[in-house]
Amino acid sequence: MNLRLVAAALGALIAVLGLLMSTAVPWSLHVQDGQHFAFLLVIVSCVIVGGTVFFLLRDPDAEYGLRDAFAIVTLGWLSVGLVGAVPYVVTGSLPTFTDAVFESFSGFTTTGATVLDDIEKLPHSVLFWRSLTHWLGGMGIIVLSVAILPLLGVGGMAMFKAEVPSPVVDKIKPTVAATAKTLWKVYVVFTVAEILLLYVAGMDFFDSVCHTFGTLATGGFSTKNLSIGYYQSPLIDVIVIVFMLIAGINFTLHYQALTGNWRAYLRSEECRLYLIIYGAATAFICWNIYGTGEGGFWAGLNKSAFQTASIMTTTGYGTTDWERWPWACQWLLVTLMFMGGCAGSTAGGMKCMRLVIVGKHVLRELKLLIHPRAVIPLKIDRRVVSPAIINSILAFIGLFVGVWVVSTLLLVILNIDVVTAVGATTATLSNIGPGLNKVGAADSYGWLPVPAKWILIFNMIVGRLELYTVFVLMVPDFWRK
Amino acid sequence: MNLRLVAAALGALIAVLGLLMSTAVPWSLHVQDGQHFAFLLVIVSCVIVGGTVFFLLRDPDAEYGLRDAFAIVTLGWLSVGLVGAVPYVVTGSLPTFTDAVFESFSGFTTTGATVLDDIEKLPHSVLFWRSLTHWLGGMGIIVLSVAILPLLGVGGMAMFKAEVPSPVVDKIKPTVAATAKTLWKVYVVFTVAEILLLYVAGMDFFDSVCHTFGTLATGGFSTKNLSIGYYQSPLIDVIVIVFMLIAGINFTLHYQALTGNWRAYLRSEECRLYLIIYGAATAFICWNIYGTGEGGFWAGLNKSAFQTASIMTTTGYGTTDWERWPWACQWLLVTLMFMGGCAGSTAGGMKCMRLVIVGKHVLRELKLLIHPRAVIPLKIDRRVVSPAIINSILAFIGLFVGVWVVSTLLLVILNIDVVTAVGATTATLSNIGPGLNKVGAADSYGWLPVPAKWILIFNMIVGRLELYTVFVLMVPDFWRK
């Protein structure tokens, strides 16, 4: 590993983060919440420290190796999460270190779990920063999952190698830069569109911006204690539903659609399954909650469509308390928590694609029992998936379940009841946000003991970085020359 | 598929079952419970019908093909389970068809879930038959998992191909017969040993026999409503613990040990892990329940050792209600429900071996990220495991989880609460017996609606037959010429 290169990259990252943080200052000045000095202090420190490290250590001719890339991704996410916690502390919004770090990582990993019981009392600039961490995290994730992880071969993401047209494909730096630019354009287009639509639908401009950040990043931080439920507006619900669903689809498909190839969505098996499961789950829930106090048919359809989208895309916004719904709805939503959205989107969870491949693998093994000597290729979108990718995906799911079991056990040992522990682990590892029972939609994570918060922070990070990106740093081999 | 061959085999199976059923008659005569005529009726019918089919259709020179073997295993288990239900009906012990079939399959699959609220009111002969179904199911499972499934390549069991010395290995019939004889000797030795020990420890002879059948088959049917807890005898607890643990170990290791190679246990990675997890879980639970009303240190150790063994080996006997234990103990026990015992034992669940391989696969993928071009073999007991076997095991686990999720969803749709549904699905799919909440250790499955019982019967069968053996019959390809 080239330590110098890694340090330079982290320096640049922090300096850029400082510059982006400056977008919170106008909000502070606009509403006069008195936090602009606190923000300026953090911004200047970030730019000076990060910039200095970058300019001292940078080496424009160096090429990144595999280990450098792993280190930059994981350590980069860690640094950004830690630095992002500073505004919460200096503004006095979250005085304890653990809570600030929890909220910051929850933002950057687009999880949306909060330690705050009363969100609305936060200064506007802090609320903006909180939502901005989602949006930036979402940007990071898109590039990570479409451009970086495929090159690193993490969790079967190699399947998406070079799906986006790019001038150079054999070198990490230019490929990543080109892909990032392309996808970020798409991300910005959707961002502008949703802000405008929400504003037109009656949300004020500040809230439109913050909720757009939370939607497109599948984050879930709101500026209201009642989340989207605050607005009681079916029109706003529908806008948020549509953009949550958009955010849960592979962004390379959006790129293709925006450049004229609208059929790309339907040609992708993963996207088809995602939409079919979404439709089926919504219909099932709508049918089950009919007559249980969620209003008439249209109100019930709205609520089931919203909640299913929110959980499938791992956003975590709410318009109702689905823990009062019939058990069958709850069980279905919990299983969807594990699945998550499409690979290459901002959604978390295991991703539809991986489950498609597991399903096909299971069916193939059935056929192999009847024809033991047959060679049966596993295909996705008419292309053969290599055994290496299948192995990688199966290992990913194994690791996911392993982390899930251990994390839940640790929480339960800390004397948290089983349902809350299961909910908290799932909601953080899948980057959803609200969990079950005492960390449900109507509750915060604030009451949890400090060790539990750190376990959940760990879950958010490993869940977001597709597990292997983090765990690879824990293998002794990684640090050997 | 050679239908004639399959029918002949099923005929033979039912005739033999009839003969074995006759062992219930002496008990009936001994205690004069008045059921001997009912049993004789069933026995004679089985022998006549089964025998006729066998002698009309048998073909001594025919060799079994792959599909014949699959059909015989699954249809054989189904026929035995259905015929085994008849004594419950004709003796009036379980008047409804569904309940009788549930109890019968619960016996033959060595699950141990019961629909009876008051076991002790059953006639002695029926109690004996109930326990005998466990013992026979256990015999079936040992041969199935050590001799038949490896040849069929189900769920990675091919790993154990020809582990037991056998004169002919390339033909199914002689291999199976030779292996069966060898392993059954071991099974009978343990059976005699446990009966004697329990009798000496103060249990009456009838109960010693029934509880031995329930232990060695990792079944869990008792003759007492309070299960083993009825005896309040630490000596009996220890005997049952030891034999449960024995029953959860691969019987080929027992064969090696009984023929002088005592180190076989320690040389097997699976067995080592099984014992280590058992020890660690017992210690953890013992530490956690200390001072929570389970008595002093020794009483607590006894109870944790018993309950851990009962669940890890998927037996389901109880000496206490562990649903009152601290959450951490409950969570640990629930996760152990999924693992189960060793492959090649009478225990259910996913089996330690499969989880060992998943763990090694996950670690190997981590190393491959650092050395993408390396070839890293996956070894168990110093032998390389082929990619085909790894694929098969990963697919098995995928299918297990899939069936688990769907079964739980169906139960929840039938308006059963989530915890009960999760418990019932896990307890039947892993062939444990008692589940959680309303189907917990102190409850029966009798109150469940009829469709729920059939879902659980399905779970017991597919769980016991390593899923693929049953599912392969549902592939259209299987029935094509």
A351/A430 Cα distance (integer angstroms): 9
- Chain A neighbors of B371, CB-CB under 8 A: 477
Q: Which two tokens stand for residue B343?
A: 């492959």
Coil, helix or strand at residue A21? helix
DSSP A345: S
- The bridge status of strand A383-384 relative to strand B379-380 is unpaired
Which DSSP helix (H) or strand (E) runs through A380?
strand A379-380
Find out whether B227 and B319 touch, Cβ atoms under 8 Å. yes
pLDDT on residue B172: 58
| A468/B372 touch (CB, cutoff 8 Å), yes or no | no
Residue pair A134/A433 in contact (Cβ under 8 Å)? The answer is no
The CA–CA distances, whole Å, from A404 to A219, B151, B325 equal 20, 35, 22
Report in angstroms the alpha-carbon separations of B407 from A350, A422, B206, B400, B421: 21, 19, 37, 11, 8
Q: How far apart are CA B367 and CA B390, in angstroms?
A: 17
Take residue B26 and report the two structure tokens written for it: 């002496």
User: Residue B73 in contact with residue B181, Cβ under 8 Å?
Assistant: no
Assess whether pLDDT exceeds 50 at residue A166: no
- Measure the CA–CA gap between A144 and A180, rounded to whole angstroms: 9
Identity of the residue in A332, A366, A418 whose CB atom sits nearest the CB atom of B331: A418
Whether the Cβ atoms of residue A365 and residue A129 lie closer than 8 Å to each other: no
- Give me the number of domains chain B comprises: 1
Q: Give residue-wise pLDDT tens across range A15-44.
A: 999 999 999 999 999 999 999 999 999 999
Residue A168 pLDDT: 43
Measure the CA–CA gap between B51 and B12, rounded to whole angstroms: 6
Quote the DSSP letter at residue B326.
Answer: -
Q: Is residue B461 part of a domain?
A: no
DSSP secondary structure letter of residue B386: P
Cβ neighbours of A395 in B, within 8 Å: 361-362, 364-365
**Which residue in B330, B387, B475 is closest to A366 by CB distance?**
B475
Structure tokens at A289: 């909650």
Interface of B with A in 279-338 (CB under 8 A): 326-328, 330-332, 335
Q: CA A369, CA B477: separation in Å to the nearest integer?
A: 10
Taking Cα atoms as reference points, which of A124, A46, A141 lies closest to residue A85? A46
Write the DSSP string, A444-461.
Answer: -STTS-HHHHHHHHHHHH
Q: Cβ–Cβ of B370/A472 closer than 8 Å?
A: yes
Q: Hey, which residues does B464 pair with through a beta bridge?
A: none
Rounded to the nearest angstrom, the gap between the alpha carbon of residue A420 and the centroid of all alpha carbons in its chain is 21
DSSP notation for B182-232: HHHHHHHHHHHHHHHHHHHTT--HHHHHHHHHHHHTT----SSTTGGGGG-
d(CA A250, CA A187): 11
By DSSP bridging, strand A383-384 and strand A379-380 are: antiparallel
| Closest Cα in chain B to A154 | B369
First to last CA, chain A: 8
Which of A328, A365, A387 minimises the CB distance to B395? A365
Indicate the range of A159-163, A365-369, A418-422 predicted with least confidence. Answer: A159-163
**Is B31 in CB contact (< 8 Å) with chain A?**
no
Distance, in Å, from the CA atom of B288 to the CA atom of B32, rounded to the nearest integer, reads: 48
At residue B115, the 3 state secondary structure works out as coil
CB spacing of A418 vs B366 below 8 angstroms: no
Q: Is B360 on the interface with A (CB under 8 A)?
A: no
- DSSP conformational letter for A440: S
Q: Mean pLDDT by 10-residue block, N- to C-terminus, for chain B (481 residues)? A: 91 97 95 94 97 93 85 95 97 94 98 95 96 97 88 78 49 73 94 98 97 97 96 96 97 91 92 97 95 88 97 95 92 96 95 95 93 91 90 94 96 95 97 94 93 98 95 90 69
Please state, in angstroms and rounded to a whole number, the distance separating the CA atoms of residues A405 and A422: 9
| pLDDT at residue A305, as a whole number | 97
Asked if B417's CB is within 8 angstroms of A362's CB, the reply is no
CB contact under 8 A, A369 and B154: yes
Any domain includes B376: no
ipTM score: 0.93
Name the residue among B155, B161, B41 with its Cα closest to residue B90.
Answer: B41
Amino acid code (one letter) for B277: I
For residue A140, being part of any structural domain is answered with yes
Q: Which residues contact B139 (CB under 8 A, 6 or more apart)?
A: B184, B187
Chain A residue with minimal CA distance to B481? A370
For residue B408, which of B450, B459, B442 has the smallest C-alpha distance?
B459
* CA–CA gap between residue A438 and residue A422 (Å, rounded): 11
Q: Is B54 a member of any domain?
A: yes
Q: How far apart (Å, rounded) are the C-alpha atoms in residues B175 and A318?
A: 61
**What's residue B166's pLDDT?**
47
Q: In the block, which residue shows the tokens 């605050």?
A: A230
Residue B37 host element (H or E): helix B36-57
CB < 8 Å to A332, chain B: 409
In a domain, A476, yes or no: no
**CB–CB contact A368 B153 (8 Å):** yes
Rounded Cα gap, residues A138 and A279, in angstroms: 25
Q: Does some domain include residue B211? A: no
Question: Cβ-count burial of A82 within 10 angstroms (0-12 exposed, 13-18 middle, 19+ buried)?
Answer: middle
Would you say residue A136 lies in a domain? yes
Query: Mapping DSSP to helix (H, G, I), strand (E, B) and coil, where does residue B69 land?
Result: helix
Using CA atoms, how far apart are residues A152 and A175, in angstroms rounded to an integer? 13
Contact B331 A417 (CB under 8 A): no
**What range does the domain containing A104 cover?**
3-173
Q: Which residue reads 């507006």 in tokens?
A: A233
Q: Are A304 and A282 in contact (CB under 8 A)?
A: yes
Residues 370-429 of B with CB under 8 A from A: 370-372, 387, 390-392, 394-399, 402, 405, 408-409, 412-413, 415-418, 421
pLDDT attached to residue B430: 97
- What is the secondary structure of A404-418 as a DSSP string? HHHHHHHHHHTT--H
Helices (H) and strands (E) counted in chain A, each on its own, are: 21, 2
Nearest to A409 among B331, B398, B415 (CB): B331
CB-based contact B326:B292 (threshold 8 Å): yes
Distance CA A189, CA B155 (A): 48
Under a CB-based contact definition with an 8 Å cutoff, are residues A134 and A213 in contact? Answer: yes
Residue among A335, A391, A399 whose CB faces B405 most closely: A335
Query: Is position B61 within any domain?
Result: yes
Output the CA–CA distances (angstroms, integers) from residue A97 to A90, A101, A115, in the order listed.
11, 6, 12
The full 3-state SS of B445-458, as one line of letters, equals CCCCCHHHHHHHHH
Residue pairs spanning A and B at CB distance below 8 A? 130
Query: What value does the mean pLDDT take over residues A188-210?
Result: 97
Q: How many CB atoms lie within 10 A of CB B282?
A: 20
The per-residue DSSP string of B243-283 comes to HHHHHTS-HHHHHHHHTT-TTHHHH-HHHHHHHHHHHHHHH
**AA letter at A179:** T
CB spacing of B328 vs A362 below 8 angstroms: no
Identity of the amino acid at B50? G
Helix (H) or strand (E) holding B315: none
Chain B residues with CB under 8 Å of A326 CB are 415
Apex B419 CA angle, B417 and B420, nearest 5: 65
Taking the CA atoms of residue A339, residue A340, residue A344 and residue A345 in that order, the dihedral angle to the nearest 10 degrees is: 170
Question: What is the model's pLDDT at position B332?
Answer: 95
Calculate mean pLDDT across residues A374-391: 92
Provide, as residue numbers in chain A, all residues whose Cβ is less than 8 Å from the Cβ of B396. 365
Question: Quick one: tokens of A346?
Answer: 């901002």
Structure tokens at B430: 């892993």
CB contact under 8 A, A405 and B371: no
